[in-house]
Amino acid sequence: MKTALVTGASSGIGAATARQLAAAGYRVICAARRAERIATLADEIGGAAVVCDITSDADVARLAEAVGDRLDVLVNNAGGALGQEPVAEADLDKWAAMIATNTVGTARVTKALLPALIAAEGVVVFVTSMAADAGYEGGAGYCAAKAGERAVVESLRLELFDQPVRITEIAPGMVRTDEFALTRFDGDRERADKVYAGVAEPLLAEDVADAIVFMATRPKHVNIDRLAIRPRAQAAMHKVHRTAVS
C-alpha cells in the first residue's frame, strides 16, 4: 500500500484530502497540531495521526521519523491567513506567523521528507493560493506568505529536475470551509460570513481535495506544474458574482 502524508489535516481541505486519498487506496498519515481531531480522522480512514506543528524543528523531525524511508505523496496543506488590515495598520506579528507557517514551515516539512519522497519516486502537492498571483487590499501579509511558498515550489522543481520526484502546486481561489475565514478574522463569524455573502456556489474543501488526488495520481512522467481552481462565480480575485443579500 502506498503512503500519503497530509499536513493541516485537522479540518477543511486537509481533512477532505486525507479522506479522498484513503478512498483511493493510500495509507494516510494525518498531521496537524490538534491531536484529538487528527486521531478521530485517522481512525475513520484507517490511517495514522502525528501531532505536528510545522514551525517546530523537533515536531517535523518526529514526523519524518514516523514516515520512515519511503513516502509516495506529500500534501503541503498546513498554513492559513491571519487578519486583513491594510499595510498602514498591519499587525506584523501576524505577518511573521503567516510566513512562518505557509513559507518556512512548508519548506521545513519538504526538506525533511525529500529523501523518502525521492526513494519512492513520489509527488509533492503544495497547496498555495491565488493570493500568490497578486496583491489585494488588506492581503499583503498573506499574499507575501503564499508568494514565498510559490517561490519554494518553483525553485525546488528546478533543483530536482534530475530526480524521480514531481513538484506540483494547486492554487485555490474562493473556498468555503469551516475555519479559514473564521481563523482569519479571530473568530468573528459575521466578518467571516461576509466573505462568501451572495456567492451561490463557492468551492468546497471536497472540490479542492478531488483536484489534489487527481494531481497526485497521474502517471510518474506527468507533472501538473500548477493548477488554478476557483468557483465559476469568481472570474478573478477582484471580480466575484454575488446575488443581492437581504
The residues annotated as belonging to the active site are: 142
| Residues 94, 137, 168: CA angle, nearest 5 degrees | 70
Cβ proximity of 234 and 207 under 8 Å: no
Parallel/antiparallel/unpaired status of strands 123-127 and 3-7: unpaired
Closest CA to 17 of 210, 217, 226, 219: 210
Q: CA 198 → CA 128, 132, 148, 194, distances in Å?
A: 25, 25, 31, 8
Q: CA 29 → CA 9, 69, 109, distances in Å?
A: 9, 14, 14
- State the virtual CA torsion across 67, 68, 72, 76 in degrees, nearest 10: 40
DSSP labels, 37-96: HHHHHHHHHT-EEEE--TT-HHHHHHHHHHH-S--SEEEE----------GGG--HHHHH
Cβ proximity of 33 and 14 under 8 Å: no
CA dist 10 and 13 (Å) reads 9
Q: Could you tell me how many helices (H) and strands (E) the chain has, helices first?
A: 9, 11
